[in-house]
């Protein structure tokens, strides 16, 4: 499953990384505590969070996430966006709450395969 | 859906509130930021979280959350359990991560909530 | 109908700085009292939320403080007064996402820079003042739309 399919299915706003939507998404991870995400998420995960702080980019980069989905229509902070561009991490925005965003992505990954 | 069905879907263990398994739930909110929960979660929702400290129970009490679902097999501290028993807030624990917990419940028809109190206020 | 000046309930609850085990106790108590007064769930929820975020702030950042609550027929007044370091830049502190919270506070799910915004958004009236080195004062009013008969 590539990022582009998920972006289209959920009508996500692409804040940066439009050139990286061919990336493969192998799983999903929801979490707002960076230490938790560091410890338990995996490579290729699409990370769903409410945190907009620039530290999320370092985490996504270290863990080789496919991208970050900010929920509830949260916009990334300016330095977060700058860092994301530098590190090449796609940032997507969902207007839906985290539960629904996760539910829909889970559905896509399960039904159509990872 | 009843809490009992939620328990089955998530293969969860009931830590507090065994007697409340007939409670009806329709909405859920998943988050690790308590201020986020406070601002957006609707009364009567399930709260899915990775946090296990007593503040999760306090926050749930303030919002009239139907039940707390701890994800990734987390076990709460004794203080958290005592408080939940005192305030009669069910706590379930599931081995699934938050993403999968949300996915499984969403597939079975539980919907998300993002209701601001000021929106509720605007209603007649 | 009750006269506007009638105070239906008033009390002051001490809050201990740094004691996270007790954090939220005051707000649970306030919620229970308002429930007994038959206020609408909507009003109770907003008062409890505002009080709870204020209480967490006192526990997280001050040495000690108190929450004062006053219920009148047409509004609920909540004041959170603390003795602590105070806030040097209020404008910055009111910005969503800005926080000086310690790792410990963040691990509990707080300190994401949303508390003061929540308090402001859920109140009908909000005022914050702070004296550096002395403490911070919050004043919130939540209006009661429907007339109720009191206790």
In this predicted model, what pLDDT tens digit does every residue of B33-75 receive, in sequence order? Answer: 998 899 899 899 999 999 999 999 999 999 999 999 999 999 9
Span C104-122, average pLDDT: 87
- Residue showing tokens 């370091």: C85
Q: Are C84 and C63 in contact (CB under 8 A)?
A: yes
Q: Are A104 and A10 in contact (CB under 8 A)?
A: yes
**Residue C110 is encoded by which pair of tokens?**
């707080």
The predicted structure's pLDDT at residue C150: 44
Indicate yes or no: CB of C107 within 8 angstroms of CB of A35.
Answer: yes
The predicted structure's pLDDT at residue A111: 79
Least confident of A46-50, B18-22, B93-97, C101-105: C101-105
Nearest CA in chain C to B36: C114
Indicate yes or no: CB of C112 within 8 angstroms of CB of A51.
Answer: yes
Q: From the list A33, A53, A77, which residue is nearest C107 (CB)?
A: A33
Mutation site for A-interface testing, chosen from C100, C103, C112, C113 by largest number of A Cβ within 10 Å? C112
Indicate yes or no: CB of C112 within 8 angstroms of CB of B35.
Answer: yes
Q: Please tell me the pTM assigned to this model.
A: 0.88
Mutation site for B-interface testing, chosen from C109, C119, C120 by largest number of B Cβ within 10 Å? C109
**Cβ of residue B32 closer than 8 Å to a chain A Cβ:** yes
The predicted structure's pLDDT at residue B107: 96
Q: Are C24 and B58 in contact (CB under 8 A)?
A: yes
- The residues that bridge with A92 in the sheet, in sequence order, are A14, A69
Say how far apart CA A68 and CA C92 lie, in whole Å.
27
Chain A hits for B74, CB-CB cut-off 8 Å, are none
Interchain CB contacts (distance < 8 Å): B and C: 83
The residue with greater pLDDT, C34 or C113, is C34
The predicted structure's pLDDT at residue B122: 40
For the cut 70, the answer to whether the pLDDT of residue C74 exceeds it is yes
Q: What is the mean pLDDT of chain C?
A: 90
Indicate yes or no: CB of A102 within 8 angstroms of CB of B97.
Answer: no
The predicted structure's pLDDT at residue C146: 56
Mutation site for B-interface testing, chosen from A35, A102, A110, A114 by largest number of B Cβ within 10 Å? A102
Residues of C contacting chain B (CB within 8 angstroms) = 20-21, 23-25, 27-28, 31, 41-42, 45-46, 48-49, 52-53, 56, 108-110, 112, 114-115, 118, 121-122
Span B86-112, average pLDDT: 97
The residue with greater pLDDT, C24 or B116, is C24
Indicate yes or no: CB of A52 within 8 angstroms of CB of C107.
Answer: no
For the cut 50, the answer to whether the pLDDT of residue A12 exceeds it is yes
Say how far apart CA A114 and CA A109 lie, in whole Å.
5
Q: Band of the pLDDT at A113, cuts 50, 70, 90? A: low
Which residues, including other chains, have CB under 8 Å from residue B106's CB and lie 6 or more apart? A99, A100, A102, A103, A104, A106, A107, B112
Beta-strand pair A91-93/A13-16: antiparallel
Q: Band of the pLDDT at A26, cuts 50, 70, 90? A: very high
The predicted structure's pLDDT at residue C4: 62
Q: Band of the pLDDT at A29, cuts 50, 70, 90? A: very high
For the cut 70, the answer to whether the pLDDT of residue C8 exceeds it is yes
How many angstroms separate the CA of residue A70 from the nearest CA in chain C? Answer: 14
Which residues, including other chains, have CB under 8 Å from residue B55's CB and lie 6 or more apart? B34, C20, C23, C24, C56, C108, C109, C110
The predicted structure's pLDDT at residue B120: 44
Say how far apart CA B46 and CA B88 lie, in whole Å.
14
Say how far apart CA B16 and CA B33 lie, in whole Å.
22
Q: Are C111 and C94 in contact (CB under 8 A)?
A: no
For the cut 60, the answer to whether the pLDDT of residue B116 exceeds it is no
Span C75-96, average pLDDT: 94
Residue B3, phi then psi, degrees to nearest 5: -60, -30
Q: Band of the pLDDT at B121, cuts 50, 70, 90? A: very low
Q: What is the pLDDT of residues A60-69, one digit of tens each?
A: 999 999 999 9
3-class secondary structure for chain A? CEHHHHHHHHCCEEEECHHHCCCECCEEEECCCHHHHHHHCCCCEEEEECCCCCHHHHHHHHCCCCEEEECCCCCCCHHHHHHHHHHCCCEEECCCCHHHHHHHHHHHHHHHCC
For the cut 80, the answer to whether the pLDDT of residue C1 exceeds it is no
Span C86-100, average pLDDT: 90
């Amino acid at each position: 499953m590539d990022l582009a399919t998920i972006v289209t299915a959920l009508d996500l706003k692409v804040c940066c990384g439009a050139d990286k939507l061919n990336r493969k998404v192998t799983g999903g991870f929801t979490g707002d505590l960076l230490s938790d995400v560091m410890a338990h998420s995996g490579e290729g995960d699409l990370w769903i969070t409410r945190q907009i702080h620039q530290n999320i980019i370092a985490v996504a980069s270290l863990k080789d996430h496919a991208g970050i989905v900010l929920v509830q229509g949260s916009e990334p902070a300016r330095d977060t966006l700058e860092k994301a561009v530098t590190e090449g991490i796609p940032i997507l925005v969902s207007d839906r709450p985290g539960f629904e965003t996760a539910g829909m992505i889970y559905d896509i990954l399960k039904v159509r395969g990872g | 859906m009843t809490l009992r069905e939620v328990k089955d879907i998530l293969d969860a263990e009931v830590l507090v509130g065994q007697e409340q398994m007939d409670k009806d739930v329709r909405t859920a909110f998943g988050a690790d930021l308590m201020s986020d929960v406070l601002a957006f979660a609707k009364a009567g929702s399930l709260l899915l979280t990775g946090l296990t400290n007593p503040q999760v129970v306090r926050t749930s009490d303030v919002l009239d959350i139907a039940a707390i679902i701890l994800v990734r097999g987390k076990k709460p501290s004794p203080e958290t359990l005592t408080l939940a028993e005192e305030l009669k807030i069910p706590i379930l624990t599931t081995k699934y991560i938050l993403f999968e917990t949300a996915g499984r419940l969403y597939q079975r028809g539980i919907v998300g909530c993002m209701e601001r109190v000021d929106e509720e206020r605007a209603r007649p | 109908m009750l006269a506007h000046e009638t105070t239906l309930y008033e009390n002051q609850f001490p809050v201990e700085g740094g004691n996270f085990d007790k954090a939220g106790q005051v707000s649970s108590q306030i919620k229970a009292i308002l429930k007994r007064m038959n206020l609408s769930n909507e009003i109770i929820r907003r008062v409890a939320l505002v009080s709870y975020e204020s209480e967490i702030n006192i526990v997280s950042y001050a040495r000690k403080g108190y929450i004062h609550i006053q219920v009148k027929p047409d509004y609920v007044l909540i004041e959170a007064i603390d003795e602590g370091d105070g806030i040097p830049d209020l404008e910055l502190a009111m910005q969503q996402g800005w926080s000086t919270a310690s790792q410990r506070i963040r691990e509990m799910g707080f300190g994401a820079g949303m508390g003061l915004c929540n308090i402001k958004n859920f109140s009908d009236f909000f005022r914050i003042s702070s004296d550096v080195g002395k403490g911070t004062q919050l004043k919130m009013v939540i209006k009661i739309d429907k007339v109720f008969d009191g206790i």
